Each structure stands twice: as structure tokens, then as C-alpha cells.
Structure 1
Amino acid sequence: MIVPRFFLAIALPVLAAATSVLAVPALAQAGDLKGVVELFTSQGCSSCPPADAELARLADQGDVLALSYHVDYWNYRGWSDTLSSAASTERQYGYARTLRRKNVYTPQAVINGRDHVNGANETAIARTLDKLSAIGAGLTVDVSVESTDEGLSITIGPGKGKADIVAVYFDEQNKVEIERGENAGRTITYRHSVRDMETVGMWNGQTVNLKLPASVISAHPGRRCAILLQVVSPDGSPGRILGAARI
């Protein structure tokens, strides 16, 4: 469904390097992932449940970092999405600027910050991931993350360009009973819904070793964490994702 809307002036928050970390040791690296799929969805959109199911399948598949962003522009249709945020809507409109689109829609899947397809189309998502990898637009920079009791250690490998190091906090799953709106009466389990993001560092093509104290991750109790190495325009619009890792 196409939802026209005026572009929002946005800027990704550049916050201090304070992020909370999981207490269980873990290690992840960009080489483990084929790509990043970001789904823009809403509990109030009748076209979205098949895309939510596809996002869940990708999350279980394991070789893709699958993230779900619940937008808030459907909330006026009789049901306020319990996971929605203005920040998710702003991120989608930022991608619209980057991809030179005049509008946004749900369900939209943005892949590696470089292309988009209908989020319910499993074949299109797979083909786009393969196409981007074939032309060198996959995850080309190694990102590794290690979590210990002391905090989070992030290593970004060498490469070309400049990018932000972004921590993404998301829920493993949320089961929601939708009472009104286009999906009234349905109970849907949402996977990997993003609840917060913060920029924790910058990368300029050289190897970066970054340590975040455990107090930062503890500010997001019960949530999982992923790291994106993402190009961000001067106006804050998100762009190409060069690398990623998850805890």
C-alpha cells in the first residue's frame, strides 16, 4: 500500500558511546551474514502480515540480519501500533531520500540500504541479496562484536569510505493481539522489532577497535543488539550498509 507523506527532516542521533551489553560472551562477524534486510511494517496494514512472516523466516534462517521497523503513519486508522515509533517512520523517509523516491509504502524491505522490494516477496528479497553481492554491494567490510561481562568490543576492519558505527537494539519477539483496524481480531508474533538505535562511533576506512561499557547495554534490558556500519548523508539520511554483526 502506498502511503504518500511529506518528507520529514531527520537526523540520526549521534549519541555518546554508551550502550548496554549482554552479559553472555558472544562473537559475530560480517562474514557470517549475506546482508541486512530492514522491513518497514505496521500492525494496522492488512498487506503486512505476509511480510512479517517473511521477516520471521529470515530471522530464523540465520544468514541475514533481519530487522523490523514499525512506522506510525497507520496509527490513525483505528489502531495504534504497539511497537511503532516516529523514529522508524523517519528512518523510512530517510531511505526514500537516499533511494530518490517520492513516497514510502508498507510493507517495504530495504536491503543493505541500497535497494528495496515488497517485504512479502521472498523471491525478490533473495534475488536482490544475490544481485547486490554479485556487484560488490553486499557486506564488504568485516565487523566483529564480542560481548563479555565488562562490555562490548567492536572491531571494524579496513575498507574504503566513511561510515557511522550504529548500535541497534531490538526485541527477539512480541506477540500482539490486534483489536481494531485492518487486522482486527488477528494475533501476530513480530520478530526483531527495533526499539532504539544510537551512533556509537565513526569509521574512515581504517581498522577501528571500539569498547563500550556494560552500563550502556544494560540500559536496554532484555533486548538484543546488532551493529551496523552505515553510510549516513549530511542531512542524516541512512544509506549503504557496508558491514554488520549481531550478538
Structure 2
Amino acid sequence: MRRLAFVLLAMGAFVLAVFGLQCRAGETVSSKPVGVVELFTSQGCSSCPKADAAFARLADRRDIVAISYHVDYWNYLGWQDTLSARENTERQYGYSKSFGASNVFTPQVVLNGVRTAKTGGLSHVMTDLDALARGGQAVSVPVSARLTPETMTIAIGAGSGKANVVVAYFKRSTTVAIESGENTGRTLHYRNAVTKLETVGMWDGKAMTLKLPASVGSKPGYDGCAILLQAHDADGNPGRIYGAAAL
């Protein structure tokens, strides 16, 4: 009986592994989401777990590209955030400069690269994204991506504006037992945590296709990535996101 159970488990693992490979290497992901939701958070912030839980529900939606960034400026409180990165903190400060703000905070939600939003619930986010669409700040440029064992191909539609093609690599699901700091004793679950960003091209408003090495879409230690078509100001601070897709 134990041997049969072992065989069944092994077969199940094999099927899952093959299915995962097919999804990553064989399918084209075409996306024109209703919006991009970026959460800035920290394992050392006592106000963040509620926002993390709400964000996890957004991450399950297929009509939204939802990614999170763990910042490192709360690490001095007694717990080193295991997902934090200096690059994430720099991105948040960049948004702060773009928005004309004088400080940063967690949790913070940024929508479509153009405005912050309340973190209390899903309804606020969807309402705000709808308002952005009505105001002409929707994520409107179609983006599609295909990953094969040899190449990653990104196709971008036409639109108005100029933007960088940015790949944000993330870990889809991470569970962390917090041993010190403001969340001591809690086991927290995180979704789509970004720890690396890479600019792979530029878009000038014309339809284009980028053919890149497969390693661009499949980095060791990551099991997902978001492709952001994002404008930047003269100082390199992030701005409006024109299009997005996730693998």
C-alpha cells in the first residue's frame, strides 16, 4: 500500500513538473490587464500583514498584474526582511520623487505607475483603476510574451509615448516565520515578491518585437516575471505603465 502511494505521488509530481514546463516554455501569454498593482511592504512592518493578505487576493486575479516589493529600511527594527532588496527601496523612492512626495512608507500601493491607492481592500483598488481608465491612464498597450527553451519573445503593440521594457522577476509564493521585530511569532505568506529588475529594451510608440535569450525569462531562484512597459523621467524615476504581462 505504501509502495502504491509512493508511486502515485511520484507520478503526480512528474505530471506537475511536465505541466509546469509546458506552461513556461510552450504557451504565449498575451495580456491587456485592467491595471498594474505594485505593493511596497516589509516583513518588519506591523501595519503590512493586512495589506499583504489583500494583495494576495489581487495576485490571484487574471485581469491584473500584481507584484510586490519588500523594502529594506525597516530591517533595523530587529528583523532582516528575507525578501528585501535595496533596488526595491530605490524604486519606491523613485516613485516618491515622481509623485512629488517628501517621504516613503509601508504599506504603499502604486497603480499603473501614476498614483498611490488605499490598501484597505480590493474594492478601493478596482475603483481607482476604473477611474484611471476613465482619465486616460489605463494600461492600454497590448503586450505578449512567449518563452521557449531557446528564446523569450516579447511583442508590444502600438501606442503613444516612450517607455522602457522592464522585466521584474518574482517569487510567486513565499512563507516566512518571523522570529523577531514587530511581527514576532507570526508566519506570513507573500505573493509575487520581486527581488530583481532588468531593463531589456526601449519602446517609442511603434509596434515592436524583442527576441531575447531564454535566460531573460527564466532566472534561477525565480518562478515568475512581469513585463512592464514603463516610462521614466529625465532622472530615471519610474512613471506611467503603458502595458504589462506576466509569465
TM range (shorter): 0.7 to 0.9
**Alpha-carbon separation, structure 2, partners of 1:107 and 1:63:** 22
Aligned residues of 1:35 and 1:112 also touching (Cα < 8 A): yes
Counterpart for residue 100 of structure 1:
100
Match of 2:89, SS?
A: helix
The answer to whether 1:112 aligns with 2:144 is no
Deviation at 1:80, TM superposition (A): 0.9
Aligned residues of 1:38 and 1:67 also touching (Cα < 8 A): yes
Deviation at 1:146, TM superposition (A): 1.1
**Alpha-carbon separation, structure 1, partners of 2:229 and 2:220:** 20
Greater share of residues in helix: 2
- TM superposition score normalised by structure 2: 0.87
**Alpha-carbon separation, structure 1, partners of 2:39 and 2:234:** 24
Give aligned pairs, total: 225
Aligned residues of 1:161 and 1:205 also touching (Cα < 8 A): yes
The one-letter amino acid of 2:29's match is A
Deviation at 1:71, TM superposition (A): 0.4
Counterpart for residue 136 of structure 2:
136
Deviations along 1:93-136, one digit per CA (max 9) or x if unpaired, are: 10001111111111000000011023333232121111111222
**Alpha-carbon separation, structure 1, partners of 2:171 and 2:40:** 15
Which structure's relative contact order is higher, taking Cα pairs within 8 Å and 6+ residues apart?
A: 1
- 5+ long unaligned stretches in structure 1: 1-21
Match of 2:96, SS?
A: helix
Higher mean C-alpha displacement, 116-125 vs 104-113: 116-125
The one-letter amino acid of 1:114's match is V
Within 5 A, what are the aligned runs for 1:39-188? 39-188=39-188
Aligned residues of 1:166 and 1:229 also touching (Cα < 8 A): yes
Q: Percent of pairs identical after alignment?
A: 52
Deviation at 1:42, TM superposition (A): 0.3
Deviation at 1:221, TM superposition (A): 4.2
Deviation at 1:168, TM superposition (A): 1.0
The one-letter amino acid of 2:223's match is R
Match of 2:95, SS?
A: helix
Aligned residues of 1:23 and 1:149 also touching (Cα < 8 A): no
**Alpha-carbon separation, structure 1, partners of 2:120 and 2:237:** 25
Aligned residues of 1:107 and 1:120 also touching (Cα < 8 A): no
**Alpha-carbon separation, structure 2, partners of 1:217 and 1:65:** 16
Deviation at 1:69, TM superposition (A): 0.2
Aligned residues of 2:169 and 2:222 also touching (Cα < 8 A): no
- TM superposition score normalised by structure 1: 0.87
Q: Whose radius of gyration is greater, 1 or 2?
A: 2
Deviation at 1:218, TM superposition (A): 4.2
Deviations along 1:119-175, one digit per CA (max 9) or x if unpaired, are: 333232121111111222111111111111221110111111110000111001111
- 5+ long unaligned stretches in structure 2: 1-22
